Every structure is written in C-alpha cells, then in structure tokens.
Copies of this chain bind each other. A is one copy, B any other.
Amino acid sequence: MSKIPYRTYLTEEEMPRQWYNLRADMKEQPDVYLHPGTHQPITREDMLPIFCDELCDQELNSTDRYIDIPEEVQEFYKIYRPAPLIRAYNLEKALDTPAKIYYKFEGNNTSGSHKLNSAAAQVYYAKKQGLTSLTTETGAGQWGTALSMACAYFGLDLTVYMVKVSYEQKPFRKAVIHTFGADVIPSPSDTTEVGRAILKAHPGTGGSLGCAISEAIETATHQKGCRYVLGSVLNQVVLHQSIIGLESKIAMEKLGEYPDIVIGCAGGGSNLGGLMGAFMKDKLDGSRPQTDFIAVEPASCPSLTRGRYAYDFCDTGHVTPLARMYTLGSDFMPSANHAGGLRYHGMSPILSKLYHDGYMRAVSVEQTKVFEAAVQFAKCETILPAPESAHAIRVAVDEALRCRESGESKTILFGLTGTGYFDMNAYTSYLEGKMSDYIPTDEELQKSFDTLPKIG
C-alpha cells in the first residue's frame, strides 16, 4: 500500500564502518577544557588517570573527520544494530498532518536506549588497554545497563553509581544491571569522600548526575587497573553516537528523503549530538543551510534555554575538568523529574557551541505535556517511549501540528532514544493525574549561577 515502508533497516554491508567527528567540520571549535585546579588548558596527561588512553585521544581529536570503528566494536554493533528508521504513518494520521514524520528507534536492545553505542566503544578500548574494571554513573539507568551489557560481553568488572532518585523510582533497573553482573550503588553514597560531603551539605537529596560522576571518578582513580567512563556530554561520546545519524542518513537516502527538521531530547547531548551529526555536516558545509535542529529539554532542567554559556565543572564534586558549556551551575539540584536521563546541569560542549553560534535551537517542555505525547505516541505506534525520548516526541508532534496549520509538508526526523518499560511509576503518576510540573524560578537559577567558577 505505502510506497515508503514503515521500517527501514540497513543491511550489515550498509552499516557505517567509521564514526563521524563533527568537530572536524565546525567553523569554530568548542573552547578547550581547563584543569580544575590551575585553570590552564588540560593536557592528555591530565586526563590519563581518569580515562582510557585511546578515549583521551578521541576526546582531544578535533581534526580527523572520520574515525574507524574497531572490528570488535563493529561486531558488537551487529548484535543489536542496525536500528530501524521508522515512518510514523499512524501518528501522522492521528495528527491529520501533511508532515512526514520519521523516527530513528534506538530502544530495541536490553539497555533500552542508544547508550549501548558508546558503551561498546568505551569498554572495548578499556579491554584493549588491559584494564580490569570500570566505574560510571547512571541517571535513568540506561547508561548503567548499557555499560553492564558491554562489560559482560568484553569481560570487565563494573561499579555503577546510580542517581538515588532513579534508584528508588526504578527498582528493576538495578536488577537488570545485576543480571549482567555489575554492582549498583545509590548516589550520593558514603562509599566516597565526595559522596559523604554532598550528603552532609544536602541531607535527603535525591542526587544528580553531577554527584554520581564525582563519586565514580573518585572510585576509579583510587583503584588499580580501573578507569572512569561517561555516557554523555563528552566529545568522545558524541563521536560514538554519530552512528545514529550516519545510519539515519543512509536510510533516508535510500528512501529519497532528507529531514527539514531534526529533533532530539537533550540531557547531556549524547543522543542529539549523535543523531544530528551527519546532517549538521551538510549545514556546516553550506549544502543544506536550512535544516532546523531542535534540542528538547525538560522545563525542570533547562540548561540551554535558561542556562549560562560559561566554564563550569561537569560534576558536583568539582573533580572533573572545566568545560565551557551551557550550564545551570554544577550545584543545581533538579527536582525529582521522572526523566532521569535529562537531569543534568550542563550540556555537551559541542552542542553548546553549535547552539551558541546559531546552528540549532532549543525548546523546553513541561513534563505533563511530554507524557501526554508519550501516551498518544504509544497508542498510535505501539512503542512505549522512555520519558526522555518523549520530550522529542512532544516537539515532533508540535511541529507536525504547525504543519497542519500552515499546510506545509515538512519532513521531520526525531530520535526515539529508548523505551519506557522501567518508567511505569512515572506513567502511572501521569495517568492518575498525580504528576506535577516544576519550573525553577529565576531566583533559584541565579543562586546556582552564583556558584559558577570565576574564569579569566
């Protein structure tokens, strides 16, 4: 019936063999990382105690446009990829819109999200370096699950610091991580100095990604053969996630399509950075100047739309390098918003720079509106989306409705990063009318901005 199929899968032969490094095409580079103590540009040597050697190189590599995906990582990708590009015919029909809606679905793996793309790469490099264990943080639990899967596959030990509010809201997430053989510790915890300090300063806190990062780094740097890995924000993660956009672009080319609008939820920026990379390339080189890139963030944690573009710590404990990025201040403690993966005070320096330079825009949305879109989407498309992903759905729906008003037949592509099977408490809260929207006041944000480090 339909000329364009519902689902488009690449063959193994069509799958990308290289990641795309967006920085190689940026007119201006993100500002360099600074050492947290000296405020001097950070060196490879500064990073080596924290990250694997090869990941340090990738973090600092702003010149190589394409980077080979190691054979072993390609093999791992083939277990669960390619991810389908799906035409949302039923959503289009329900919205009665002339827009064409596509989504790249990254949730068809047990981590429930795109996070596995970078987990596979990071664990492989750790293994190659002869390391025996890793530490990390997890918010919604998707990154922790992804990493536990990759560690089980490559044979490394793993300790996951899980944001306490997610740990409590998602009892089964930690069970999945356990199944893959990793340890899970709710953060802030008393297992680290920085955790104990945060607990003292904020008793009863639900934690944040920033806290959990501090704890994971402290643990990694105190153990032999151990390093820290991060699931978002970093340049290396945006690099690994470029597979999302590369696959999407190949699939759309096969269909004779190109997006007018590219939409992704943005917490630390890993998903949107990955999805938009291959398309942003065309905007940067002038061949597709009109493409509209939209980052969607929760109104409760609005780093792009209400944050400052400034140097800040990536963590609450102030042990990481300083990155220039859009930030709410590393002390910002988001409310117990259910979209755990978007509870981060900062934003990828790459995305921050592109946003600052006007290559993309950002929209913040309230939680109840997000779940409204999530339920509508589930009923039409038979996939129960993760709350994080549903932020992108919300804006895709809004853009499609705008097309209905204007009569434009735009092509919309959004990233459906994952599934919501471990978020049923949030869905129940929404369905029972018990979910509230929280928007930080200007005063709250100002208080947090006041803690930004004074640089230069």
Contact call B379/A6, Cβ cutoff below 8 A:
no
Chain B min CB distance to A225 (Å): 21
* Interface set of A (CB-CB < 8 Å, partner B): 1, 5-7, 9, 11-12, 71, 75, 78-80, 90, 108-112, 116, 149, 152-153, 171-172, 175-176, 178-181, 375, 378-384, 419, 421-422, 424-425, 427-428, 431
- Is chain A's interface secondary structure helix, strand, loop, or mixed overall? helix
From the candidates B1, B109, B379, B424, name the one contacting A153 in the complex (CB within 8 A): B379
A424-B384 CB under 8 A given contacts A6-B79, A12-B5, A379-B153? no
Contact call B110/A179, Cβ cutoff below 8 A:
no
Contact call B6/A11, Cβ cutoff below 8 A:
no
Q: In the complex the two chains form, what is the Cα distance from A179 to B116 in whole Å?
A: 27
From the candidates B1, B108, B427, name the one contacting A175 in the complex (CB within 8 A): B427
Q: In the complex the two chains form, what is the Cα distance from A152 to B80 in whole Å?
A: 29
Q: In the complex the two chains form, what is the Cα distance from A172 to B171 in whole Å?
A: 11
Contact call A181/B379, Cβ cutoff below 8 A:
yes
This chain's copy number in the assembly: 2
A116 surroundings in chain B (CB, below 8 A): 382
A380 surroundings in chain B (CB, below 8 A): 153
A180 surroundings in chain B (CB, below 8 A): 378-379
A152 surroundings in chain B (CB, below 8 A): 378-379
**Other A-B pairs beyond A5-B78, A79-B382, A175-B427, 18, CB < 8 Å:** A6-B79, A7-B12, A80-B383, A108-B108, A109-B382, A112-B421, A116-B382, A149-B382, A152-B379, A153-B382, A171-B424, A172-B421, A175-B428, A175-B431, A176-B424, A179-B424, A181-B379, A421-B422
Q: In the complex the two chains form, what is the Cα distance from A108 to B9 in whole Å?
A: 14
Contact call B79/A381, Cβ cutoff below 8 A:
yes
Q: In the complex the two chains form, what is the Cα distance from A149 to B379 in whole Å?
A: 7
Contact call A110/B424, Cβ cutoff below 8 A:
no
